[in-house]
Structure 1
Amino acid sequence: MAQIKVDLKRCKSCGICIAFCPKNVYAVNKEGGPVIAQPELCSKCNLCVMRCPDFALELEV
């Protein structure tokens, strides 16, 4: 299973990672940012990491 890490100091809660995730791994927190809700669904496609404008995501496989 892939491990997704969100650097909350870098994350601006833009929601791009949530929008681009084809497997709906993320949920939205009260600030509009990502919460890893279903990590077991991650297909390791890396779209969230590539699209994050703030380099706040890391995918460990």
Structure 2
Amino acid sequence: MALQPPGLHVGRSWSGHEIEDHCPCPKAPCGLVRQETTVEECDEHYFLNARAMRQSHTPAACL
């Protein structure tokens, strides 16, 4: 299994951040969720919910 870089910004949509706009997780400046700060109350991003992340980038690539 490949390790992901720390601080990854992730999103559930193929583009944009509409899903992230409605979740309780802390957001990066780009509007995506900071992977290491997801919250248990989130049905979209919390790791135990095993939902597919469809976009991501490192903090260095954040626009």
TM range (shorter): 0.3 to 0.5
Q: TM-score, normalised by structure 1?
A: 0.34
Q: TM-score, normalised by structure 2?
A: 0.34
Rg comparison, structure with higher value: 2
Greater RCO (Cα-Cα under 8 Å, separation 6 or more):
1
Pick the structure with more strand per residue. Answer: 1
